[in-house]
Amino acid sequence: MKIKQSYLFASVIAGVVILFFVVGGIVTSLGNDDKKAAAAAAARAEKVEDPLVQVSTIQQTLRPYVVSVRGRTEANRAVIVRAETAGPVAATPAREGAFVSRGAVLCRISTDARQASLDQARALLRTRQLEKEASDRLAAQGYRSQTQVLQAQANLDGATAQVRQAEVLLDQVNIRAPFSGVFDRRDAEIGTYLAPGGACGTMIQLDPIVIVADVAERDVGSIRVGSAATATLVSGEILSGRVRLVARDADPATRTYRVEIEAANPGGRARAGLSAEVKINTGSGPAYLVPTTTLVLDSAGRQGVRYVIAGDRVAFAPITVLDETAEGVWIIGLSGEVRVITAGQSYVSEGQKVRIPAK
């Protein structure tokens, strides 16, 4: 039997309508599923726990403040000993590198005619003394005027001065140590001709010894003359002394200031030219001892520590390192009792909430 065309058209329209509602229901269902999945993911994200960190409660301690710098030892005095008169070197009594006392002969120049000049001056002095005695006796008897007596005295004084001059010239052949110390280097050997000003050798004084440090401009303002200081030499020996000089003018090349520390050095055990770790006390105040591993850098490149404040949130404090020891690092920049993060500090940021395990 034939189906009317109008019935067929109506069936098609009805089928399209039914298909529309079926597909819409499926899409809506899928959309709801996606929303539910997103909501579930968000809920799971909200349930992620805050990062776990370990903290250590640090109390402030009164501690000396120090400036730590690299330094070197220098002789307290170093002098090139020179000749005062001319002549060939006749003897070198002092051994190079030996300790000598003040006044010891380092080099001796040939006396030449200086001894003869002294003998002649002494002979003239004896003559003048006899003349003066005779003049005094004659004056007492009335045979000499006062002028003649004064002339005899003047002659005696002149002869005395000549003797003194000859003695000085003769003693100048002995080139002596100006102070007690080490005859570090000899520049003249036997037979060397020395003109006035010629070098016999170098004397250095090592007790006391001087430790020299170049201090940065940010630290020099806290250093005072008389401040206590210690220097640890490369050999492990520790010298203790006090600041004797703080330069007022900076080195134009390094913009640092020269600081000199004077320390006892019995027997000259420490040599000049040794490297040293120098620590200069600049006062005292509150400081904190923290492990070296707690030091971090913030986003601005500042060195500091991260710690936990109220609400278990992270805070950052820039610090200044005072000293590094085997126990840890002494720092300033904190206040009061602080819960410093000792583990996990590199994985948290300022303001972030953290968890602290119960003890």
Strands 61-82 and 199-216, sheet pairing: antiparallel
Q: Which DSSP string do the residues of 116-154 spell out, in sequence order?
A: HHHHHHHHHHHHHHHHHHHHHHHHHTT-S-HHHHHHHHH
What is the mean pLDDT of the segment spanning 272-291?
91
What is the reported pTM? Answer: 0.65
Residue position matching structure tokens 């039997």: 1
pLDDT given at position 2: 46
pLDDT value at 112 more than 90: no
Token code pair at residue 179: 């102070």
d(CA 287, CA 280): 16
What is the mean pLDDT of the segment spanning 303-317?
91
pLDDT value at 252 more than 50: yes
pLDDT given at position 8: 59
pLDDT given at position 31: 52
- Start-to-end CA distance of the chain, whole Å, equals 91
> pLDDT digit string (tens) for 152-205?
899 999 999 999 999 888 888 999 999 999 999 999 999 999 999 999 999 999
Q: Is 256 exposed, middle or buried (0-12, 13-18, 19+ CB in 10 A)?
A: middle
